[in-house]
Copies of this chain bind each other. A is one copy, B any other.
């Protein structure tokens, strides 16, 4: 199955566009898992159990595992996702980037070691740093374009012949790096105007959208700006807003995820109902 087909299956089977961020900060874990032998894995199992039917994707943030030697727990978490939610995409959020032969090693990390479907990639080093991640039609890359953090303005918004750098990145990605249909863009929820411009310029690309919730992005505006006409085209990620809901109990995680899932689907329905 190609990556593009995996994306469609993930959204169709889950009935939505929800991406759950698996960012288990060791300092914030619920008290009842913090004392276990494999606390990151235990917390992730709880999150996956609570969301397996409604998550289109899971996005583990590599930093929270590598900060504490948690790589084996990340491996086990991904295996658990495959058991419980075989339809769901697994996007390793590592923001990897390096020269060609090193980028190949990072691609082996993401695709062979962790068996992820996709990995997030930083574009600063250009073509040879990106190509190893899009070399196989079955696996994909999610390229940073316009991120959701305050610092996004520092370089991404600088104008190059009238167009911001992040638009130059999208241009290059869409034209040269998506030959196998396996490239998505990271477009933060904190910039609805930027999202609208990107959607107009790149009608076929799928955007991964972080920044809803804790970072202040507004769901309704983002859906209006970013959805394709058929109601697809986005993955809406939430990490902190879901996994630490109500102190990280299973019920509160389920409720927070379902609330976002429903909110997304209301926005999709409203858009489809437009004349």
Q: Which residues of B contact A130 (CB under 8 A)?
A: 151
Report whether B151 and A125 are in contact in the complex, using a CB–CB cutoff of 8 Å: yes
Q: Which of A23, A105, A124, A127 has the most B CB atoms < 10 Å from its CB?
A: A124
Say if the beta carbon of A37 comes within 8 Å of chain B: no
- Within 8 Å by CB of A66, from B106, B126, B129, B151, lies B106
Say if the beta carbon of A25 comes within 8 Å of chain B: yes
Report whether A125 and B149 are in contact in the complex, using a CB–CB cutoff of 8 Å: yes
Report whether B129 and A151 are in contact in the complex, using a CB–CB cutoff of 8 Å: yes
Q: In the complex where A109-B67, A154-B172, A155-B169 touch, is A125 in contact with B144 (Cβ < 8 A)? A: yes
Q: Which residues of B contact A152 (CB under 8 A)?
A: 125-126
- Within 8 Å by CB of A99, from B99, B149, B153, B160, lies B149
Q: Which residues of B contact A97 (CB under 8 A)?
A: 95, 97, 122
Q: Which residues of B contact A106 (CB under 8 A)?
A: 63, 66-67
Considering the complex, give the chain B residue whose CB is closest to the CB of A102: B63
| Given contact pairs A122-B122, A124-B155, a sample of 17 additional A-B residue pairs in the complex whose CB atoms are under 8 Å apart | A23-B102, A25-B105, A63-B106, A63-B109, A66-B66, A66-B113, A69-B71, A95-B96, A95-B98, A97-B122, A123-B155, A124-B156, A126-B154, A155-B165, A158-B165, A158-B168, A160-B160
